[in-house]
Structure 1
Amino acid sequence: MAATIKSVAEMAGVSIKTVSRVINKEGTVKPDTLKRVEDAIATLKYTPNKAARHLASKGASVIGYVYDNPNAYYIIDMQKGILDVCRKNHYELLIHPCDASSKDIAKELVEMVETAQLAGLILSPPLSEMPAVLSTLDENNISYVRILSGDGQITSALPYVLVNDFKAAFDITRHLIEQGHRDIAFIAGEEIHNSTTERLNGYKAALSEAHIHIDESRIIKGTYSFETGVKSAETILAMSPHPTAVFACNDEIAAGTLFGARMKGLDVPQDIAIAGFENSPFSRQTFPPLTTASQPTNQIAQHAAAALIQYLRAKRTKTAPENLSHTFVPELVIRASTEHLQ
């Protein structure tokens, strides 16, 4: 059986990507690693596929979108946005759902890039916020763009897209305060997502600005799910007195909270006001419709894809890429679920 690039990589104890760099004489391989690969090639009598080398010299034209997120609306918008940019730039898109909690997740991503010969990756949370994953990608010289939650500059040679969840959460909470609410509960999503922390911090900052005591009993842990909202509504309404307003970490939680409140016979917003986050269809399909923060997921996806493609082109031509990073601030959308207290 003829030797393959995979068998060369295994014998040399390196990745397929490293073998590819040696074959294509990229000059970015350490001398000792270079010798191991060359020795393995000689021992196995490996002959690179000329057609594959020709394609490699032109640059790979497939990028991957990697995610671990149960929110179907978010994923659909991300895919549409990325695909739109890929088509305009003659790139194909490989979509790879995965389990970010897997102990082998970093290895899984590297193997996927090498097997599918991807040019680069677009990473959304929580994968984009996991240092171990990022360091492994860096060690294997894999290009990527991260979509992150944050409100400041990130030290990185690679482009990124920031979503300022802190500012948007601050605006939502301040809106509830301006409606006369002083007792506001917060329902969180998974802690593995930095957006949960940023939104919680925005909530706390708005309360502090208004000199409202931050009551930790009003902060409820959960997941980004409708079920969390339903269960949290029961918890909140069992408090005495119960909060007059709720800020849920996303619209799905908020919709579940609204459902739970109405099952208990409460009127929204007269008995309790409810706000969500993201402006997903959940926020518009409830009655009353939900106040929320409009997160432009499609635009975020388009910018991430465009930034990655521009970065790859600059890398291929060995030119300095321009500043491709960008920050989005979700905008407050006020609807009937947070009417003024009577």
Structure 2
Amino acid sequence: MVNAVIERFQRLDAAFSERASKGERLYGRFSALACISGEESPEQLVDRSLHIRDRMNEGLGTWRSPGRAMRLVFSAALAASDRTAGNFFTVRNALNTRRQERGSRTLSHGGSCAALALVVAGGDTSQVDNFFDILDEITLPWWNRVPAREDVLAATFAATGETPEDARRKLDQSRLALRSAGIPGHHVERAAQEICLGPINGGELAAAWTSLNTAVRGRPVLRSGVGKTGLAVLASRGRGRETADMLVSSFEAVRALRPRPSGQVSARLAMRLTQAQTGSTEPHAAARDLAAILAAQAAIIAVAAGSTAAIAAAS
């Protein structure tokens, strides 16, 4: 029997594939992933995503970030969260205006990453100042910083009403749990920035980490695509053997899609599908967290898109 989350993704992927252009296939797949939590039918979600994308194109023009293809993923996240392009633009403008007034650091992609996260997580313009306060609190030294990730994390914390002190405390607790479980040091920070947004099963983290590493042994494409950081993120919820089985079955389901995604894309999709299955008793609820961090995946999608552009053009 096909898992409900995987089946939902397959239906959404087919719906986006039918409507998206050939050059948007990759982005359509991540858009399908963003829509797993949506309560409407796949066809309705695709319709709303494309409508929002058209409004974003009108508002952003040719050169503003996110780029035209990536706007489909942003729009899908907004559609799944029952938000609009207007919500996105209002928050984006407020962020950039307040940034200039405060003299804060430049936001990634013109504030689009932070705006998407804040809006999708249920926030509004009243939380803009708290966003900058949290960003100041959690900013890492420049040599260890991924600005888009920090923007997204600060925006999500702000949208959920956390204080800067709360954000710092949750990050520190996540780092401690990962280190205590034996996660390699250079993977701790990236994983902590994701798992601090939800519950962490510290008691089972180490065992789950071992189970997941065992599951990807002999599967180099899956192991490389998910990476140690991704495995640490999945391990944070415990249930190691069950999660490992979900990861492998999700990967096999994604690889069965046509046209077949590249190995890296398949592994990343499988990881997020596994998160959606393990994050809540409601099968699609965990994908709401995914929507808040979609902007942080822009670099991953861009790399994958670049590596497959020649194949897509020739197919």
- Pick the TM interval, shorter chain: under 0.3
Larger radius of gyration between Structure 1 and Structure 2: 1
TM-score, normalised by the number of residues in structure 2: 0.24
Query: By percentage of residues, which structure has more strand?
Result: 1
Query: By percentage of residues, which structure has more helix?
Result: 2
TM-score, normalised by the number of residues in structure 1: 0.23
